[in-house]
Amino acid sequence: MAQETSQPLGVVDSLSVGFRVAQRHLWLVLLPVIADLWLWLGPHLSVAELTSRWVSALPTAGLPADVAQMTEVSRQLLLEAGRQFNLLWLMSNGLTWFSLLMPGLLASPSASSATQVSAGWLLMVVPLLLAGGLGMGSFFLTGIVSRLEEGPEATGFSVRRALRLWLMVMAYGLLLALLALAFLFAASLFLSLAALALPALATFLVSLGALVAGWATLWAYFMLYFVVAAMAWDGVSPSQAVWRSVNVVGRNFWGTLGLVLLTALIMAGFRLIWQRLAPLGPAAVVLSIVGNAFLLTGLAAARLAFYRDRYLRWQQALVK
């Protein structure tokens, strides 16, 4: 990737760079292909029984009629999600742009063919699957960065570099999880007290809280969009990566917004295509898996290239 050009690397140019890298280095698609094949042909770890027990234990007595109705709808949605969810899907993650195809693509096996996970096993398996998914994503991004690098600073793929990125991504993910839990706890406490004090406004307060939380989540996602890219490219700590991401996004707001929207649109559009192809048979599923892996690789490379170009231009502007 050329690091210095007369014009900033635009969104379309970034996509061109990304898919050129994916085309020239097809081995980069192997990891998402293998992971999706495992999710398709491997075991199904179900949490249906646990979900059913947890939902049955949820209190419903004493709630206002409208809140009780919303609670019942939520209960049904949770039961259905528990029946369909495969615990192995946790290996797919957006934090490292390692979003696999299988979750939600095909109908889940029947309860008789799925392995039910107990509460004790759940506490052990979930962290391992999350860490494993972040590890695969870290190796995936490190491989792409090694192909984007040019010049004397290019070092090629390094297992040590991938492992370092894995550790940093896990630390960053843990920090995000703790912040999210703290926010949810504070918001739930505030809304509960407000609903008790003003029961007539309970529905309005819940809706308003959900709206504010949604917008806050979207804004945080946008400003932190390049955190993992900074860690993958530069090997910096999560705190430094946050600073770089916020600055790159803030200084390139519209370009970043265009990249975010276009990549999301491409992924959503092709997801519909894969969903139409998959029911045609096993060959169509394999084709969808390979196509999604190529798409995933190209878009990840495009986002990494866009970040690197805009970061270097920011640093050059500071020197002048």
What does each C-alpha distance from 279 to 92, 116, 268, 273, 286 come to in angstroms? 22, 26, 18, 11, 11
Tell me whether residue 297 is in a domain.
Answer: yes
Tell me whether residue 248 is in a domain.
Answer: yes
Return d(Cα 113, Cα 191) in angstroms, integer.
41
Return phi, psi of residue 63, to 5°.
-85, 150
Q: What are 88's two structure tokens?
A: 């192995």
Alpha helices by DSSP H, 202-252: 202-223, 227-234, 238-251
C-alpha angle 277-283-288 in degrees, rounded to nearest 5 = 45
Which run of H or E residues covers position 179?
helix 159-197
pLDDT of residue 24: 95
* Max Cα-Cα span within the chain: 69
Return phi, psi of residue 139, to 5°.
-65, -35
pLDDT at 262 over 70: yes
Classify residue 62 by its DSSP letter.
T
The predicted model gives 231-249 an average pLDDT of: 96
> Which residues lie across from 98 on neighbouring strands?
93
Tell me whether residue 93 is in a domain.
Answer: yes
Domain count, the chain: 1
132 contacts 173 by C-beta, under 8 angstroms = no
Condensed to tens digits (0 to 9), the pLDDT of residues 52-83 reads 787 777 666 665 666 666 666 777 777 777 77
> Which residues lie across from 46 on neighbouring strands?
86, 116
Q: Which amino acid makes up residue 141?
A: L
Condensed to tens digits (0 to 9), the pLDDT of residues 279-294 reads 899 999 999 999 999 9
Condensed to tens digits (0 to 9), the pLDDT of residues 29-45 reads 999 999 999 999 988 88
Classify residue 30 by its DSSP letter.
H
What is the percent of the chain with per-residue pLDDT over 90, rounded to a whole number? 60
Q: Which amino acid makes up residue 30?
A: L
Task: Show the domain range for 202.
Answer: 11-47+85-319
Return d(Cα 47, Cα 261) in angstroms, integer.
33
pLDDT at 230 over 70: yes
The full DSSP string for 56-94 is HTS--TT--HHHHHHHHHHHHHHHHHHHH-BGGGGG-BT
Tell me whether residue 21 is in a domain.
Answer: yes
Tell me whether residue 219 is in a domain.
Answer: yes
Tell me whether residue 62 is in a domain.
Answer: no
The predicted model gives 256-281 an average pLDDT of: 94
Tell me whether residue 264 is in a domain.
Answer: yes
pLDDT at 270 over 80: yes
Nearest CA to 204 out of 194, 214, 213 is that of 194
Q: Which residues of 53-66 are buried (b: 16+ CB within 10 A; e: fewer)?
A: eeeeeeeeeebeee
Q: Is 94 helix (H, G, I), strand (E, B) or coil?
A: coil
Tell me whether residue 147 is in a domain.
Answer: yes
The predicted model gives 3-13 an average pLDDT of: 77
